[in-house]
Every structure is written in structure tokens, then in C-alpha cells.
Amino acid sequence: MEPRGTKRGAGKIEVADCRNKLPRLAPSLPTDPALYSGPFPFYRRPSELGCFSLDAQRRYHGDARALRYYSPPPTHGPGPDFDLRDGYPDRYQPRDEEVREGLDHLLRWLLEHRGQLEGGPGWLAGAVVTWRGHLTKLLTTPYERQEGWQLAASRFQGTLYLSEVETLAARAQRLARPPLLRELMYMGYKFEQYMCADKPGGSPDPSGEVNTNVAFCSVLRSRLGSHPLLFSGEVDCTDPQAPSTQPPTCYVELKTSKEMHSPGQWKSFYRHKLLKWWAQSFLPGVPSVVAGFRNPEGFVCSLKTFPTMQMFEYVRNDRDGWNPSVCMNFCAAFLSFAQSTVVQDDPRLVHLFSWEPRGPVTVSVHRDAPYAFLPTWYVEAMTQDLLSPPKTPSPKY
């Protein structure tokens, strides 16, 4: 039987097991949506702390060189006619998914900017550091029926770091990915190429290579309930015509979906796909998603803008729809559960949170390989900070 937990799901760590020096474990966290249907929790408006870019060779650069500019086709005229299959597979350079990057790029940004964080080192010590995609998975968990997840958690200098672990099922699926699915992935990236320019006011150039190593990432801070958050997520483009040029409100998320012809197809789209789009864009404060609807031949023939804050309206009266409060309350409960479970400050100790659809979140404890994910270069540099005395500021003349 599942242990009864409070809604916050805060578990207690019991006495450490002396034989292997690993803590014995807390209860599990239930995921039933009915348990999380209270009022919407506090969520601080996300603010951008900085950004970084990854180039065609997946090398890190602490600047915005990979940022692209939203350049949609004119609204008057015949409408889009984008061939999403063009260039596949000869002008396609997919990222090597065997390379497990963990939090490395975000940690590099953090190392370079730790001195300038508003609130100082004390703020970071109380924060949760992760990727936006990991938080998205938490938000959608109460409604997810297909794919489970695993999140590794380590506490270091007070900060709780969360990094996804590829499940065995996800790995098997990735390695056996059918050609059609690979082509669909390409088509999503190709759509971005038709909709983005390299400079403000420029025109898209879909003749080039689609290289999915290239990424522009925004680094944001927010707070969910009592949990300060520092997270990073990939951004498709910025809109030079946006009412505010202040990130993240100038950012646009681009998506593709198959054309729909019946009310049943739309209902399914609103229940499942729109939930993921909402979670992904709401977290970083991206105001809208522009969707390209493709026909069976792979051509985008229509575009539709979905403002993030209006997505829930499509399912508000659907008994089997999703609720933003449930998503955010579950995420807050998970963060409380993780904060109270991971008490030992040790970068080599990992609490692995595992979840399969319709079950509770469970925890196991591990040390070092293969689950430890905070790199030595990061741990050593941050430890050096603690050991070295603060630099005396140079006098201002």
C-alpha cells in the first residue's frame, strides 16, 4: 500500500544505515491530480539573469550569438507553403544523443556568473538549479500516461541540483526510433528555419543545413511557493516587433503539429499537446507559441498563435482536461519532497527520484558512478571559492 503522505509530500530521512553510509529512505509522493487541485500557488514572474549559446560543434559561448529573430511570412497573401521535408536527410546534422551533457552547460554559466547573482551566494544556497525541460516534466506528471522519468538530485553547498537520467525504456525507444519519427523531429527544426532570420528585419534562409547542435539558452530565476529556482531553457527566437524587448517577454516558441479536421482531433490536441506547450512556455514566461500545421505531405499550410496565458481556456470546460493549478501544485510538492529528502550536503551522493505513470514518485540512494552528475571541475571551483578569502575590492578613484 502507498504510504499516506500530506499534500506537500514532505518525507523524513531516517537514521543513516551504518553499513553502506547511505541514508534509508523517505516515503513516496503520490501523483493523483485530485490531490493537487487547490488554488494556484505563488509563482514569481521569471526574470532573465543571462544567456549562453552552443555552436555547430556544441561548444559553449557565454553570449547570444545563436539567437535568431522571428520573421514570419506576411499575413496578407496566399499563406505559408513550407516544405518541411526539404533537405532531409542530406542537409541534416543531428546532435549526438549518446553524449549525456547533464547540467554541464548551465553549470559553466553559473560558474562564470556566480559573483554577480542578485542576493549573493546566500540566495544560491537556498535555490534549486535545473533545466526548464526537467521542470516541464514535473508539471505534466499528474496527467502523463505514457512516459515515466528519473531525476537525480544532489545537494552541494546548500543548493539542490536536479538532473534527468534517461530511463531504460526511453533509451530503448531512442535507439529503436523509426525513420518516420526521425523525419518528424527534423521537420520541427526545419519549421524554425522557415520562421527565423539571423538578424533583426532579415529574411529566413531555408537553403542551409539544419544543425541541432546549435542552441540559444536563456538563464532565468523565479520562485515557486517557497522554492527559489534558477533554470535554463532553449529559446527558439526573439520577436523584434514584440511590444516589449525585455526578455523573456520578447521570446517566441515555435511548434509544428499535424493538420486537424474533426472536433475530436482538436479536443485531443488541447488535452495532450497543448498541456506540454503550456508547461514549457509558462515556466520561463514565454508569452506565445506559434504553431505551423502540416499536411500529410509535410507542408505547413497554416499558422496559428496560441498565447500561453490563454491555453487553459481550451480545456477549462473539458471534464478530462488539465488544470494549471494541479501542475504547479504538484511541482511545488515535488520540490518540497526533494528538499526534505536530500538533506546530506555531498556532491557525490545522489537521490534518484523515479516515476512511472499511475504510480507514486519513489526514491533510491546512490553514490558516485553512474548517477553522480556534478562534474569535478565545478565542485573544485566552487569549493575553492569557499576556501579562498574574499578579495578586497580595489579602491575606486
Write b or e for each residue in 81-111: b if 16 or more Cβ atoms lie within 10 A of its Cβ, otherwise e: ebbbebbbeebbeeeeeeeeebbbbbbbbbe
The per-residue pLDDT for range 290-316, each reduced to its tens digit, is: 999 999 999 999 999 999 999 999 999
Q: How much of the chain is helix, strand and coil, in % rounded to 5?
A: 30, 25, 45
The per-residue pLDDT for range 218-242, each reduced to its tens digit, is: 999 999 999 999 999 999 999 999 9
Mean pLDDT of 378-393: 80
Confidence (pLDDT) at 79? 86
Cell for 126?
A: 537556498
pTM: 0.92
DSSP 362-396: EEEEEESTTT--S-HHHHHHHHHHHHSPPPPPPPP
Task: Output the CA torsion 246→46→385→365 (10° steps).
Answer: -150
Provide the sign of the torsion angle of the four alpha carbons 155, 160, 163, 167, taken in this order: positive
Helix (H, G, I), strand (E, B) or coil at 34: helix
State how far the Cα of 153 lies from the Cα of 160, in Å rounded to an integer: 7
Confidence (pLDDT) at 4? 35
Confidence (pLDDT) at 77? 81
Summary mean pLDDT of the chain: 92
Please report which confidence band the pLDDT of residue 24 belongs to, taking 50, 70 and 90 as the band edges.
low
State how far the Cα of 292 lies from the Cα of 304, in Å rounded to an integer: 7
State how far the Cα of 272 lies from the Cα of 202, in Å rounded to an integer: 35
Confidence (pLDDT) at 347? 98
Q: What are phi and psi of 128, to 5 degrees?
A: -105, 130
Confidence (pLDDT) at 392? 46
Distances (CA, A) of 389 to 112, 285, 377, 396: 18, 38, 20, 21
